[in-house]
Chain A
Amino acid sequence: MKLAIRIFALTMVFAGVAAAVSPSASVIPSHQSATGPLPRPDNLPGPVCAPGIPTCPGVV
């Protein structure tokens, strides 16, 4: 039983490492930190603008 759990745990570790280094991996929110849905980008507040940032409209 103990050996089976250890083998399962090590398999999970190897699978996790293999997936983490996968080139096709994208960014997703982790379930360890959030249960609710991800806030949609089109509903976000406007960008934080500061002096010296050329991408902010109306700011020199």
Chain B
Amino acid sequence: MLGVFTEWPGVVMSSQLAMSLMSALEVLLWAVLGFLFWKNKLHRRFPAMGAYLVLRVASTPVQLAFLLNGGLLGSGRTSIAVYFFLYWAVYIASAVILYFVCMEVFRSALSALPGLMRLGIVVFRWVFLASAIASFSTISFLHVSILVIPDIGYRLMRAVSILELCLLAFLCLAMNAFRLSVRDLAFGIALGFGVMSTADFILAATSHSSLTDNVQFVYESLILVVLGLWVAYAALPEPARKPMLLPVNSTIYRWNEIATALGHTGTQIALRQPVNNSLLTDVENVVDRVMPRNLKGRKSET
């Protein structure tokens, strides 16, 4: 619908203005979210999410200062170069932190089942490693240039986005078994990142079509909805987690017991090391074998 309006010059300016307002609102919502997160001490439960919000809130004004003020470092070209490196440093750092956010959400969801959580984290790491290797394998190092930095950033973010979708699917399918409420912050974080990942992938898939302008508006609206959702999660009190009541013979309980036993080291025993074949050892062994026989022979004679 917005695509029809782009033919009118006056409305083109309006749509650009709308996008600018939405972007400004996004920056504001990130700041509000960061404030509420730290005010309600949620960073103690989700430290990686806290670090992610700090990075987002702190980096945006610095980046914009370099972008808008071209003469900040003497020449415009230097400022643009600094902006380039700053942009991609924040991008890659955010992708790495998002991986740890996913781990935190996973840990929080499975906190009632420590055995399964430990086993699940091992699987989680391997899934991410496989996803990252598959993504990085498409980078061409034939012409090494500075453009390899965006390539690495894009591939890393793609691997993390796939991980976020997997995490959301897992929570949706297993939340009943884990007694996880939809009002739990762990689910809220996973839902928000899952929606953002989907929006990223849809925008990437439609970036060559004529619907790009409309999709951009929908995309930005989805980001604002997610941020609004997170602000609500951070502002409202979280309901107490229900205790997990499981029958003794339930499958999930047994799996947890098995996983706990797998991770438990238990009592350590010392294994006998092979001895050196010295002459003295051989003589001792022969004496040990012969002595009992001689004793038996004497007893039978008497």
Contacts and interface: CB of A to CB of B under 8 A. Distances in A.
Q: Do A and B bind each other?
A: yes
A13 B168 CA distance: 7
Interface stretch (B39-47, B56-64, B112-120, B246-254): B56-64
Given A1-B182, A19-B198, A41-B147, A34 B90 contact: yes
Contacts of A30: 91, 157, 161, 196-197, 200
Interface string B69-84: 0000000010011011
Contacts of A2: 181-182
Contacts of B208: 24, 26
B98 interface: yes
A44 B93 CA distance: 20
Interface in B82-132: 83-84, 87-88, 90-92, 94-95, 98
A57 interface: no
Interface stretch (B5-13, B138-146, B284-292, B294-302): B138-146
B143 to A, nearest CB: 5
Interface size class of B (residues with CB under 8 A): 35 or more
A45 B202 contact: no
Given A1-B182, A35-B30, A45-B146, A9 B172 contact: yes
Interface string B1-38: 00000000000000000000001001100100000000
Contacts of A1: 182
Given A9-B172, A48-B144, A25 B198 contact: no
Give the dominant DSSP class at B's interface. helix
Contacts of A29: 91, 153-154
A32 B161 contact: yes
A26 B208 CA distance: 8
Given A9-B191, A37-B67, A32 B98 contact: yes
Nearest to A52: B144
A31 B60 contact: no
B201 interface: yes
Contact of B223 (A17, A27, A31): A31
Interface of B: 23, 26-27, 30, 56, 60, 63-64, 67, 77, 80-81, 83-84, 87-88, 90-92, 94-95, 98, 143-147, 153-154, 157-158, 160-162, 165, 168-169, 171-172, 175, 181-182, 191, 193-209, 219, 223
22 contacts: A6-B175, A6-B182, A9-B171, A10-B172, A13-B194, A16-B161, A16-B165, A16-B201, A19-B201, A20-B161, A26-B208, A27-B154, A29-B153, A31-B200, A33-B90, A33-B98, A33-B157, A35-B60, A36-B63, A36-B64, A45-B84, A47-B147
Interface of A: 1-2, 5-6, 9-10, 12-13, 15-17, 19-20, 22, 24-39, 41, 43-48, 50, 53, 55
